[in-house]
Amino acid sequence: MAEAIAAYLHYLSIFLLFALLSLEHQLFKLPLDLPRARSLMRIDIAYGLAAGLVLATGVARVLWYGKGLDYYLDNGLFLAKFGLFILVGLLSALPTLVFLNWRNALKAGQLPQPSLRQGRLVIMVIRVELLLLLIIPFLATLMARGFGVTG
């Protein structure tokens, strides 16, 4: 039963992560307005928390409820999945830094003014993150069918 709950929480956190990033993509349109800028900051915080939950539930599955650490470390697809997840996390630093730069303006009730170039870069990064997040379940599906084992 614990294995099923861990898997369910992992899947649920992945869905939440993808939904929050999709919402961030939908809301990030220039020019900004104050309510949308504030929403983007809150959504980005929730996105970071969801990523932490994905990682925590994934670690729990690997260490306690899966096939054992050795199986995963010897599986090239698992390593690719984990690498893509880390890459998404690194890419997400750019929008997060942009939103953090807005903090003082928003506290003062002022509208942040990202440049057109900065706006395009944030949108491109979010789109790449979404694409990479779509690849991860495909790798998981292949793993579940026995692919990726090196030995």
**CA 114 – CA 98 distance, rounded (Å):** 8
Percent of the chain at pLDDT > 90 equals 85
Residues composing the chain: 151
pLDDT tens string 106-136: 999 899 989 999 999 999 999 999 999 999 9
DSSP H or E segment with residue 107: helix 103-107
DSSP assignment of 37-67, as one string? Answer: HHHHHHHHHHHHHHHHHHHHHHHHIIIIISS
pLDDT band at 102 (very low <50, low <70, confident <90, very high): very high
Report the mean per-residue pLDDT for the chain. Answer: 94
Instruction: Write down the residue that tokens 């730069």 correspond to.
Output: 101
- Does residue 68 carry a pLDDT above 90? no
Percent of the chain at pLDDT > 70 equals 99
Long-range contacts, 113-119 (Cβ 8 Å, 24+) = 113/32, 114/30, 114/32, 116/30, 119/28, 119/30
pTM higher than 0.85: yes
**CA 138 – CA 121 distance, rounded (Å):** 27
Q: What's residue 146's pLDDT?
A: 87
Q: What's residue 151's pLDDT?
A: 62
Q: What's residue 148's pLDDT?
A: 84
**CA 30 – CA 41 distance, rounded (Å):** 15
